[in-house]
Structure 1
Amino acid sequence: MTSTRRGRIRNVIRLAPLLLAGALAFAAPGAAGAQINGPDAASWQHPGGASIDWFAVRASGHEFAIVKATESLNYVNPYFVQDGIGMRAAGIARGAYHYADPTQSPEAQAAFFASTAAPVIAGGLPPVLDIEHSGGLPPAALIDWTRRYLNSVQALTGRQPIIYTYPNFWRTAMANTTEFSNYPLWIADYNGGAAPGPLPGGWRHWTFWQYTDSGRIPGVNAAIDLNYYGGGLGDIHVFGNPFGS
């Protein structure tokens, strides 16, 4: 072995930790080729009362799911409990969302959602506020409604909520306010690209990206929203341990 060859080997050894670190960074959640996938579901994904086979969903590579729990002050997804149990049994990181009705009290809706979704929120992903219509409120009033809802849910659950929204809705109905940019963002953007477009509201990063509303996956007998996890909540798998809290 010549001295030149020995020098090359020493250089490779020195570079090995850096190469390993780079590989791990590339494989982090949200990196190309290492996307963590998951659907979100509501009653629409149960046509004719059909169940979702969450074991088939998990076996097809989907590692998290977020299910609608409540809407306004009087609607509970009739499949919320069975889906919550199914996700837990399959080892899927599970979450729950509330569909906002800005015409009704935000505090009352927060209490309604928190009490209904408590079993999922306790050991699953943080609670989600789905805000995508204004209820006729002008931006200042809608911003106030959102603030009050988020504060109430956090006080009731002890967890910072996630905000789900669309870019155009936030830029118009919410006047592109940056007040909530410290909350995790779940952005819906069906642009057909490899990432969401420019984020609204001063957000610099997304936690979840809903990239289609017409996906098809094993275990679900209807079209379904599909999402990527972009990091920000740590190892998402800890929210899917069926033997955890």
Structure 2
Amino acid sequence: MARDHKPSRRHARVIAATVTALAVGGIALAEVPASAAGKPKGHDVSSHQKTVNWQSAKAKGARFVYIKATEGGTYRNPRFGSQYSGARNAGLLRGAYHFALPNKSSGAAQARYFVRNGGGWSADGRTLPPALDIEYNPYSKHKCYGLSKSGMVRWIHAFSNEVKRETGRRPVIYTTTHWWNTCTGGSRAFAANHALWLARYNSADAGSLPAGWTYWTFWQYDNSGSLPGDQNLFNGSMDRLRKFAKG
């Protein structure tokens, strides 16, 4: 996921080892996967992308974007407001995501912080549902944030329940299959009512999915390409994406 701060070299190696097919021969896979031809293209950004040329992104094929709003319980993307309004003004469907730090505070507390700092939703057909970015800890060797598998499931449930209570939508869950199986024990508790945003950098297909899910809604297939930030696809038509946004 697009981050505001780059991880250390040591942690970069950990990330590379745990995300399937991150690169081939050290070259980022920037091509749109052939198996996903015709699906709406999108991207995700954080303050690391600074001032985004949204009209240029749209001209290059972007139809949606997720923008980092918050991290943990204290950080807010200082560029969120301008990025969010800029994407809307360019005609992109846009939504906000929260980078989870489950070792810092409860799921409910982080959800409240997220919603109060950009993570809201409205049924206007242009606002994507809030998203939870939950993945390996970029700041510590404790890749599951020191939580047990059952504790992690409870944390995600608490976050989801609070987002649903405050916005009316369940959050999209961004993760990798490896992290999900490792840190939740392959929990199937979320697949029925949470859209999956899968991260897997591979030019062929999205590969195996986390337990319970039978299809992905969004697929982050690369961390660089023609669009600012990470490269994504929506698993459906543009009309279906608008309906998904509307709820």
User: Does the alignment reach a TM-score above 0.5?
Assistant: yes
CA contact (8 A) 1:64 1:93 kept: yes
* Paired amino acid for 1:52: V
1:185 aligns with 2:186: no
Change (3 A) 1:173 1:234: farther
C-alpha distance in structure 2 between counterparts of 1:172 and 1:142, whole Å = 11
Query: 1:233 & 1:33 partners in 2: Cα distance?
Result: 13
Which of 220, 226, 234 is 1:216 aligned to? 226
Please name the residue that 1:175 is paired with. 185
Tell me the distance in 2 between the aligned counterparts of 1:107 and 1:232: 33
**Alignment partner of 2:241 out of 226, 236, 240:** 236
Deviation at 1:234, TM superposition (A): 5.6
Aligned CA distance change for structure 1 residues 80 and 231 (closer, same or farther; 3 Å): same
Q: How do residues 86-235 of structure 1 correspond to structure 2 at under 5 angstroms?
A: 86-103=86-103, 104-118=105-119, 121-122=121-122, 123=124, 124-133=127-136, 134-182=144-192, 183-193=194-204, 195-217=205-227, 220=228, 224-231=229-236, 235=240
Alpha-carbon deviations, 1:65-94, whole Å to 9, x = none?
000000011100011100011011000000
Aligned-pair identity (%): 38
**CA distance change for structure 1 residues 184 and 146 in 2, over 3 Å: closer, same or farther?**
same
* Alignment deviations for residues 129-186 of structure 1 (CA, whole Å, 9 cap, x no partner): 1111321111110111011110111111011210000111001111111111111000
Q: Secondary structure of the equivalent of 1:136?
A: coil
Q: Which residue of 1 aligns with 2:42?
A: 38
Counterpart amino acid of 1:153?
Answer: V
Distance 2:96 2:36 in 1: 27
Decide whether aligned partners of structure 1 residues 102 and 130 sit closer, same or farther in structure 2, where only a CA change above 3 A counts: same
Query: How far off its partner does 1:34 sit?
Result: 1.0
- Classify the secondary structure of the residue corresponding to 2:121: helix
Bigger Rg, which one: 1
* Alpha-carbon distance, 1:232 to partner: 9.2
2:140 corresponds in structure 1 to none
Select the structure that is richer in helix. 1
Partner amino acid, structure 2, of 1:188: A
Whole-angstrom CA distance in 1 between matches of 2:59 and 2:166: 34
Q: RCO greater where, 1 or 2, for CA within 8 Å and sep 6 or more?
A: 2
Residue 235 of structure 1 and its aligned partner are, at CA, apart by 2.9
Residue by residue, what CA displacement relative to the aligned partner does 1:107-128 show, whole Å, maximum 9, x if unpaired? 111111111115x622400010
Matched, 1:74 2:74: yes
Report the secondary structure of 2:223's partner residue. Answer: strand
Instruction: Give the Cα–Cα distance (whole angstroms) in 2 for the partners of residues 45 and 114 of structure 1.
Output: 22
Q: Where does the alignment leave 5 or more consecutive residues of structure 2 unmatched?
A: 1-33, 137-143
CA apart distance, 1:31 = 7.4
What TM-score does the superposition give when structure 2 sets the normalisation length? 0.76
**Residues in 1 aligned to 2:178 and 2:225: alpha-carbon distance in whole angstroms:** 22
Provide the aligned C-alpha RMSD in A. 2.2
